[in-house]
Amino acid sequence: MKLDDVSHIGISTGAYGHLSLAAALDRVGEEAGFAEVCSWGHHMLTEPSNLHAVASAGVPITVHGPFAHHGEVHRLWNRHRAVNEMHRRHMSAAAEAGALLYVVHPDPHMRLRPGNPAAAAVFDHTLEELRGLQAETGVSVAVENLPFSWLSRYTTPWDLDLDGLGFVLDVGHAAIEGTFDHWLKVRPEALRHVHLHDNLGLRQHDSHMALGSGVVDAEKPLALARAAGATVVLEHIREEDVASSLRHLRERGLLGARDGARSEDPAPAGSVAGGEGRA
């Protein structure tokens, strides 16, 4: 399977977290058709200088929203309100930047198991708030699967009914959870976005390694993304892993002639393109 000439690979700015967003976008623009901006740290889109950097770079973007990890039960609802306001700010910035998509993590509860009723109620309300923000800002929202079922309610396709929100298939997370084959059975039209990276497999560390250095076979998720018309992002922590992954995909014949290189016609949200930091 080879992606056709009108598709693109995208790269997460998470691999360039040590650089300014302007410099990171320059690096991505040399290799890819679009960037996924990790909206935290140096790359936070709520900073006016970073919005200016996106406008100046001319690189199409998706946005990975910042993480929100809840704590004790009695603090959940207060924290929940703060998280919703955080997403409102970042989605507004994403809309101003012309983002194709806004990616969110679901609910890693470090102290609460996902079956906890209070945590479940907060999570459900968060999804409802995200639907409202999607309508308000005009930016599509997609929710990412996570590894480790004892921490999240969204590790398999049947865990949630996203009801109007898209989903992001994080292939590395699925490999850690051992659920990748289940995700292949999801209705293609529900898939909006793919995060592509490697690791050592079941119950191992979420290491975001270069493709070809672990257990992930990139061919199936790329075929799934193509069938769904989904965007794809290489999501790495280290810049050298981005180069290794692009080389691996080219050597396997999985990139078309214009994939992994900037194009005059960026892929719209809902067409194949292909990282972020540890997300």
- Residue-wise pLDDT for 230-279, tens only, equals 999 999 999 999 999 999 999 999 986 556 655 444 444 444 433 334 55
- Pairing verdict, β 191-196 and 34-38: unpaired
CB atoms within 10 A of CB 8: 27
Helix residue ranges per DSSP H, 97-218? 117-137, 171-177, 180-183
Which has the minimum average pLDDT: 16-20, 108-112, 177-181, 262-266?
262-266
- Residue % of the chain over a pLDDT of 90: 63
Cα–Cα distance, 1 to 254 (Å, whole number) = 6
Contacts of 217 (CB under 8 A, 6+ apart): none
Cα–Cα distance, 266 to 142 (Å, whole number) = 20
* CATH class for the region spanning 10-251: alpha beta
The per-residue b/e assignment along 200-218, b for 16 or more CB within 10 angstroms, e otherwise, is eeeeeebbbbbbbbbebeb
Classify residue 269 by its DSSP letter: T
| 200 dihedral zone (left: phi>0; alpha: psi -120 to 50; beta) | alpha
Task: Identify which of 277, 175, 269 has the alpha carbon closest to the alpha carbon of residue 234.
Answer: 277
- The tens digit of pLDDT for each residue in 126-172 reads 899 999 999 999 999 999 999 988 888 888 988 888 999 999 999 99
Mean model confidence pLDDT for the chain = 85
Task: Determine the 3-state secondary structure of 139 from DSSP.
Answer: coil
Q: What is the mean pLDDT of residues 99-115?
A: 75
User: Where does residue 96 rank: exposed (0-12), middle (13-18), buried (19+ CB within 10 A)?
Assistant: middle
- pLDDT value, residue 268: 44
Which has the minimum average pLDDT: 41-50, 71-80, 161-170?
71-80
State the pTM of this model: 0.88
Cα–Cα distance, 9 to 250 (Å, whole number) = 12
First CA to last CA distance, the chain: 27
Alpha carbons within 13 angstroms on the beta-carbon side of residue 200 total 4
